Amino acid sequence: GLITKLKSAGISVAYLTLHVGHGTFRPVRTKDIRRHHLGNESYHIEPETADAIEWTRKKGGRVVAVGTTVVRALETAVTPDGLILPGDGKTDLLVTPGFSFRVVDALITNFHIPKSSLLFLVSAFACLEFIKQSYRSAIEKGYRFYSYGDAMLIL
């Protein structure tokens, strides 16, 4: 799989535990995305994972999140000093275009359904027009969408 290929290319991988809630998949039905409620999702970050992220950042490396919920967990767990707090936490962070990322530099994620909070999060990494163009290309090439579909890397 993808993670195995990353590891074999010499890329370090660190893990965290996520408990994804139903709110992640709830369609956005508000005109103003900021009024959309995600609900809390629990996560656990081991001290070794926090250390690995901090080491990567100090060395000038990039932190690549695998999944949108990883983005939300890491961006919630960062302190004002830029350190990652290990341990248990909850996040209801809504990431939308204009969000200032403090931890995550890139994202590996699948192709999300329209009108979802996940699509807004993806659009925070790249402009919406670029995302739309990428989705059109994915459809033309027969890529699979949703949770068990194909993945994309957004740098």
Statement: residue 59 has pLDDT above 60:
yes
The mean-pLDDT minimum among 36-40, 62-66, 133-137, 144-148 falls in: 36-40
Give the rounded distance of the alpha carbon of 120 from its chain centre: 11
For tokens 């998949």, name the residue: 25
Share above pLDDT 70 across residues of the chain, in percent, rounded to a whole number: 91
126 secondary structure, DSSP code: S
Instruction: Report pLDDT for 22.
Output: 63
Q: For the chain, first and last CA: distance in Å?
A: 20
CB of 82 within 8 A of CB of 37?
no
The residue type of 138 is: A
CB of 124 within 8 A of CB of 104?
no
For tokens 């350190």, name the residue: 83
State how far the alpha carbon of 155 is from the alpha carbons of 1, 20, 120, 122, in Å.
Answer: 20, 24, 16, 11
What backbone phi and psi angles, to 5 degrees, belong to 109? -155, 165
Instruction: Report pLDDT for 102.
Output: 97
Average pLDDT over residues 150-154: 85
Instruction: Report pLDDT for 61.
Output: 93
| Cβ contacts of 56-61, under 8 Å, gap ≥ 24 | 56/12, 57/82, 57/103
Please compute Rg for the chain using Cα positions: 15
Convert the pLDDT of each residue in 89-143 to its tens digit: 999 998 988 999 999 999 998 887 777 777 888 889 888 888 889 989 999 999 8
Q: What is the pTM of this model?
A: 0.85
Name the range with the highest mean pLDDT among 9-13, 24-28, 64-68, 99-103.
99-103
**Cβ of 120: how many Cβ atoms within 10 Å?**
21
Name all domains of the chain by residue range, CATH numbers in brackets: 2-154 (3.40.1780.10)
CB of 68 within 8 A of CB of 113?
no
Statement: residue 21 has pLDDT above 80:
no
Instruction: Report pLDDT for 147.
Output: 72
